[in-house]
Structure 1
Amino acid sequence: MDQNQEVSSPVTRNDVRDIVTDIVKSQMTIFMSQLNESIASTINKELAVMKTELEGVTESMGFINKQYEEMMQAFKVVSKDVSQLKEENTQLKNTVTTLNHKLNFLEQNARSNNIEIQCVPENRNENIFSIVTNLGATIGCAVTEDNILQCTRVPKADRTSARPRSIVAQLSSPKLRDTFLAATIKYNRANPGDKLNTSSIGYAGEKKAIFVTEHLSPVNKALHAAARLKAKELKYKHVWVRNGRIFMRKSDDSAYLFVKDMDFINKLI
């Protein structure tokens, strides 16, 4: 053997471990590189899908936003129109209310000569003019047929009512109308136990009260009826009519109230 030839030293356990470690490190480096490439590729693919979806969402949001803006513009236009319609409706209601008041005033004014006689029994062959003149003689207010411009029975507001139809007489003037009404009040005050009734004007049989009032327009008649019901409910002592206007008074010492409309009655406490 050549003395100059180097003799190989034996491989130790540490040498084997170092070799294995180097191999593992090399393989791990390759594996990690491949893993990173795989992860990056997967993420890029997913991101591409998400990007596409996000672009679709963005486009949809843009469309929705455009639709929203158009809807808001339309809403503003509609809101403006609604506000205008509400204002016009309020004006129309006020106009209708004013016209109704004027119409009621005209209807009541057309009745300024009239009296309404209630609860006089009906007979087939009756002479209504004679009933009115006889009634005038009874209460001390002389009325002739020449003073009666028109006289008739009027239809019932409630057809099921057993009460006779009222008699409406148009007298020659508002002054005579007021005199007739005042004479009726005076007669009843003078005869508190035997107020105006059917026997007072010559009707036989059971006595039935007769009432003489102003001839009210349909609106005022309904208002008068409502005022009387409210007065009964709230224990108001007086309800009366003067020149087509309705008044209430809770007691003899309290101030009188002018009943303007149904809202006034509904607010009474």
Structure 2
Amino acid sequence: MNCSGCSDKDIDKKSLSCNVCKLIFCYECLNIDAKKVASLSKNQLASLKCLTCSNVSRRRNNDNTSARAKADQKVEQHSHKPAASQSSSHSGNCNPVPLTLDSISQLLDEKLSLTSPFVINMREALKKDIKELVVAEVKSTMTGLMTDFSTTTDFLASEQTDIKNKIAERDSKIEELESESIRVQRELTSLNNRLSAVEKLSRDHNVEIQGVPESRSENLLGIFKSLCTAVSTPIADNDIRGFRRVAKIDPTSDRPRNIIITLSSPRLRDLLLSAVHRYNKSNAKDMLSSRHLGITVDSRRVYVVEHISPESKQIHAASRKFARDNSYKYVWVKYGQVFLRKDDNSNAVRVKSCDYLKSLV
């Protein structure tokens, strides 16, 4: 360890620190007898100052001339001993130099020089203090940030847990709704099937005549009687339960409204349909038309078919279009169901729905 005053390197434990500049000085530079160090009180050690700090304190005071002269004399008296001691340790030929204000100022300038040990040590001490302050501030800031981060992560974790619980609750509700939807769809399908069966039964006695021109003075019963006569299948009046025209599916169509004839039994209906089929087959060049029914004003082709539901009519229309586009030879309706056949050697295919036609491509 070096003395900050005389730069002696062999001071070992014979040194004390100044309580102002915190520098280390040997006993000789502090003008203290080594034997009296042990007898110094704590207050004396706490107020211990080096010669430079003592002189700086005096220069800052606005003392009068007499007091300053006394101080200079006292400083000179105190400085003789360390000078003599230092001269005895280094060279026996040096004479003690009296201290004056100029010499003290010069000494202060040397001490406060950027290259002086005092300033260097002071800078190191400041660096150390600043470093400690920065480290402490950074630690405090990091602690605060960690606390805030922990609070934020805890909040996010809580929110995430709530969201997961809500999602699980929604998933459970969706599963229940899906199960309910499947059940309702099954019930709806069952009801549709039952309704279709009821509609089919309600139409089993009916015959639908298409293409008969309309007139205000028309006699639907007479028209039907003429049809039965044309196909050689007479039907008694008591077997005819009703007759009427029905509304068009497409109101914008220019086709005449269809005629519905209700017979007493499905057997009579099938007999009439078979007779019409045989007539058209045997008279391919003169198929059944309105002229055969006694209507000569506007002669057009007349069709006699089963009375099927609107849904079956849609399937029948889609099947006819499909047959034209895909070279199917036969399309017909029997017992309220639509059938297709590719050619004479192919099997008949029942068309269950319009979507079913896509599977036949």
Q: Mark yes or no: TM-score above 0.5.
A: yes
Q: Within 2, Cα distance between the matches of 1:149 and 1:221?
A: 24
- Is 1:197–2:269 an aligned residue pair? no
Deviations 1:120-169 (A, max 9, x none): 11121221111111101110111122111011111111111111111100
* Residue pair 1:248, 1:257 contacting (<8 A) in 2 also: yes
Shift of 1:207: 2.9
Q: Tell me the residue number matched to 2:230.
A: 138
Pick the aligned partner of 2:177 from 82, 85, 93: 85
Deviations 1:103-132 (A, max 9, x none): 011101111011000111112122111111
* Residue pair 1:245, 1:259 contacting (<8 A) in 2 also: yes
Shift of 1:6: 4.3
Query: Which one-letter code corresponds to 1:7 in the other structure?
Result: N
- Runs (4+) of structure 1 exceeding 4 A deviation are 23-27
* Residue pair 2:226, 2:292 contacting (<8 A) in 1 also: no
Task: Rate the CA distance shift 1:48–1:125 in 2: closer, same or farther, 3 A.
Answer: same
Q: Within 2, Cα distance between the matches of 1:37 and 1:138?
A: 125
Shift of 1:8: 4.5
* Residue pair 2:207, 2:307 contacting (<8 A) in 1 also: yes
Q: Within 2, Cα distance between the matches of 1:196 and 1:221?
A: 22
SS in 2 for 1:267: helix
- Is 1:148–2:260 an aligned residue pair? no
Q: Tell me the residue number matched to 2:278.
A: 186
Shift of 1:179: 0.3
Extract unaligned runs of 5+ from structure 2: 1-90, 96-110
Shift of 1:30: 3.7
Q: Tell me the residue number matched to 1:249.
A: 341
Q: Within 2, Cα distance between the matches of 1:25 and 1:83?
A: 83
Higher radius of gyration, 1 or 2: 2
* Residue pair 1:199, 1:207 contacting (<8 A) in 2 also: yes
* Residue pair 1:115, 1:215 contacting (<8 A) in 2 also: yes
Q: Within 2, Cα distance between the matches of 1:93 and 1:49?
A: 63
Task: Rate the CA distance shift 1:121–1:29 in 2: closer, same or farther, 3 A.
Answer: same
Shift of 1:24: 4.5
Q: Tell me the residue number matched to 1:16.
A: none
Q: Within 1, Cα distance between the matches of 2:329 and 2:117?
A: 115
How many positions carry a matched residue from both structures?
254
Pick the aligned partner of 2:251 from 152, 159, 175: 159
Q: Tell me the residue number matched to 1:99.
A: 191
* Residue pair 1:133, 1:145 contacting (<8 A) in 2 also: no
* Residue pair 1:133, 1:144 contacting (<8 A) in 2 also: no
Q: How does 1:38-57 map to 2 (within 5 A)?
A: 38-57=130-149
Q: Within 1, Cα distance between the matches of 2:182 and 2:92?
A: 121
- Is 1:114–2:206 an aligned residue pair? yes
Q: Within 2, Cα distance between the matches of 1:251 and 1:30?
A: 113
Identical positions, percent: 29
SS in 2 for 1:149: strand
Q: Tell me the residue number matched to 2:102.
A: none
Shift of 1:248: 0.7
Shift of 1:26: 5.6
* Residue pair 2:239, 2:264 contacting (<8 A) in 1 also: yes
- Is 1:125–2:217 an aligned residue pair? yes
- Is 1:36–2:128 an aligned residue pair? yes
Q: Within 2, Cα distance between the matches of 1:6 and 1:175?
A: 157
Query: Which one-letter code corresponds to 1:104 in the other structure?
Result: S
Q: Tell me the residue number matched to 1:73.
A: 165
* Residue pair 1:115, 1:214 contacting (<8 A) in 2 also: yes
Shift of 1:56: 1.3
SS in 1 for 2:203: coil
Normalised to the residue count of structure 1, the TM-score between the two structures is 0.88
Q: Tell me the residue number matched to 2:46.
A: none
Q: Tell me the residue number matched to 1:7.
A: 93
Extract unaligned runs of 5+ from structure 1: 10-19
Q: Within 1, Cα distance between the matches of 2:341 and 2:140?
A: 88
Q: Within 1, Cα distance between the matches of 2:136 and 2:94?
A: 53
Q: Tell me the residue number matched to 1:12.
A: none
Shift of 1:208: 0.7
Normalised to the residue count of structure 2, the TM-score between the two structures is 0.66
Shift of 1:206: 4.8
- Is 1:175–2:270 an aligned residue pair? no
